[in-house]
Amino acid sequence: MTRLLCLAVVLTALTGCDSRTPEPPVSAPMSSGLDLDAVDGTVRPQDDFYRFVNGGWLDSTRIPPERASYGAFVEVHERNEKRLKTILEEAASADASQGSDRQLIGSFYTSYMDQARANELGLEPLAAMLSSIDDARTHDDVLRLFGQFIRMDIEHPFAYYVDRDRGDTRRSLFYFWQGGLGLPDRDYYLKDDEKFAEIRAAYVDYVKTILSLSGQIEAAEAAPRIMELETRLAEIHWPQEKLRDRIATYNLTDSAGLEAMVPGFDWAAYLGSAGLGDQQQVVIGTPSFFTGFGEIFAATEIELWRSYLRFKLINSFSNQLGDDYADANFQFYGKALRDKEKPLERWQFALNNINGILGDALGRIYLEHYFPDSARVRTEAMIDNLRAAFRESMDELEWMSAETRTQAKRKLDALTVYVGYPGTWREYAGLQMRPDDLIGNKIRGLHFAFDTKLRELVDGPKDGEFGRPTHTVNAYYRPTAGELVFLAGVLQPPFFDTEADDAINYGAIGAGIGHEMSHAFDDQGRKVDEKGENRDWWTPEDAERYETRAARLVEQFAQYEPIDGVPINGELTLGENIADLAGLTIAYRAYKRSLGGREAPVIDGYTGDQRFFFGFARIWRTKAREGYLREKLLSDPHSPGPYRVIGTLSNMPEFYAAFGVGEGDALYRAPEDRAKIW
């Protein structure tokens, strides 16, 4: 059954605590939801539960040549891609009214799929911008180009976003962040390993290729100099684990503060060219980077900045400029960096761009066809149950004082949850999309999105506006808004199966719900109060006890080495590892609570508890190319899938009981070594 939206907004705002035990709103017999063909019977679950549940799938699955990794998330993503392709093709052929969702996405899609025209035009659509770069003669000229790059979301030394003020969530502010790197992380520039040296050499070749294609005569000389410039930027970048600190990265600054932070840098020229000239305050995420950048900026000659800007502009549009540029981009970012064998198809690139510019327009149509109301209703019942279970768990925490517990419950009750539908849809009135103007469409779309953010700085934040399209296979917690969002795209098998018994669903999407919920209370979430503002509401004693327990996870995960010589960064992944353990623990409690004292049936030979853990292990099945895995180990706060399973389960007594794990088994950890937080 599908739910027709008719452009109505359905908002689920959950407050307070429901003491009832929700019952599944179905009466038909449920399946186990297990993928028994994926089980590897040669492996004992007590030794490697990840392999036991997923070994058959791992052995029979090959990463598609156009993917850097493959797993449950990508499987669902591909399912959604096919659905969305149908929507795009129908929109492209429809006689839709001007300015409607279907006309906008249909025209953008039509323009993107005209590959012959892209090849014919080449750099012509960027001629005006390239001319502005060539005309730059002073550092202030460069600053103004940086500002224009903000409006077009083109990489330059400063990254940015708009969000609620962490000190006063009634208003929105502009946040500036370190940026400017074409490689995924500072370590790619700074590490001496042979593999990183190979990637750096390939990057220089790529920069040279792009500049040569654009007609820059001195491309061979400019490319290594751009690499040197980016290396200097990398040297002053904060490491990823430090960027997690919500307090250290919140530095409210006015114009006088900006001038003191970066002496000689004309902030008025920069902000004015971006349309930010009237901002009285901004937030600087990484102050030492900006101070260091000021020195680099002044010492770098204009000629090099022109080459840098030229490369960044063309690189940003490389997949829309024609085959030569797209192929060069793939040869580096796809093949050399992430070990892919072939690029995505053109329609997939079109879809990715539409998601970024017209995500809500596409999402509205997706929901009309592909989001069953039964998934929403049952997910909401699970969320009620998990919230109640989380509240109960707080009463049993021996390390948490009554003072902290009271505030924790207040924050838990204040969380607003959205299932499938945003509370506020983005509208696109006034945006023009033409079927014969790909680059123009993208630039207009980027300008429109940026201008929308500028209005938010004036009008204030909007509750329930999703951070990504609702057909995305994901969920998230937004601290400053106190919002938990479970996107429609993820509410399908294997994450959520409306025809399966509760056990597998609580282990899968239930653990995901608990995961996002617990982010409000992890090592950074605890620094945010129920209003979304920075305030450490824990007593010092509670914080110390919490950090002692969390340190066990840091130590545990730092021992895992997915690639020889490249271990998991236990500090960087701490928040996600806490959320995995807390989420699964709370989901298990909620599952038992949902049974209302009844014994779960044995289905397909497995008990309810065993099926619960099957559900968790299956959603993290994944295979990754080494280049992509290396990138994630250096920059991603999430641990790789196999370690999210074995690392989490080896800390859970309930898993030990379900599968009889004991001393001598590979997954066994002595009780005193196990992490227990929630």
Q: Are the CB atoms for 527 and 167 separated by under 8 Å?
A: no
Q: What is the 3-state secondary structure (H, E, C) of 143-170?
A: HHHHHHHHHCCCCCCEEEEEEEECCEEE
Q: Which of 126, 128, 148 is CA-nearest to residue 321? A: 126
pLDDT at 3: 31
**Residue 396's CB: how many other CB atoms inside 10 A?**
9
Helix (H, G, I), strand (E, B) or coil at 641: helix
CA distances from 160 to 154, 244, 506, 557 (A): 11, 16, 37, 31
**Residue 247's CB: how many other CB atoms inside 10 A?**
12
pLDDT at 264: 87
Span 620-659, pLDDT tens digits: 999 999 999 999 999 999 999 999 999 999 999 999 999 9
Half-sphere exposure of 248 (CA within 13 A, CB side): 12
Q: Are the CB atoms for 276 and 144 separated by under 8 Å?
A: no
User: Which parts of the chain have pLDDT scores under 50?
Assistant: 1-27
Span 274-321, pLDDT tens digits: 999 999 999 999 999 999 999 999 999 999 999 999 999 999 999 999
**What does the block give as tokens for 593?**
């609570």
Q: Are the CB atoms for 285 and 176 separated by under 8 Å?
A: yes
Question: What global pTM score does this model have?
Answer: 0.93
Relative to beta strand 483-487, strand 416-420 is parallel
Superfamily the domain 141-321 falls into = Neutral endopeptidase , domain2 (1.10.1380.10)
d(CA 29, CA 622): 31
Q: Which of 575, 594, 573, 584 is CA-nearest to residue 615? A: 584
Relative to beta strand 158-165, strand 483-487 is unpaired
pLDDT at 678: 87
d(CA 72, CA 35): 12
Give the CA radius of gyration of the chain.
26
Half-sphere exposure of 554 (CA within 13 A, CB side): 11
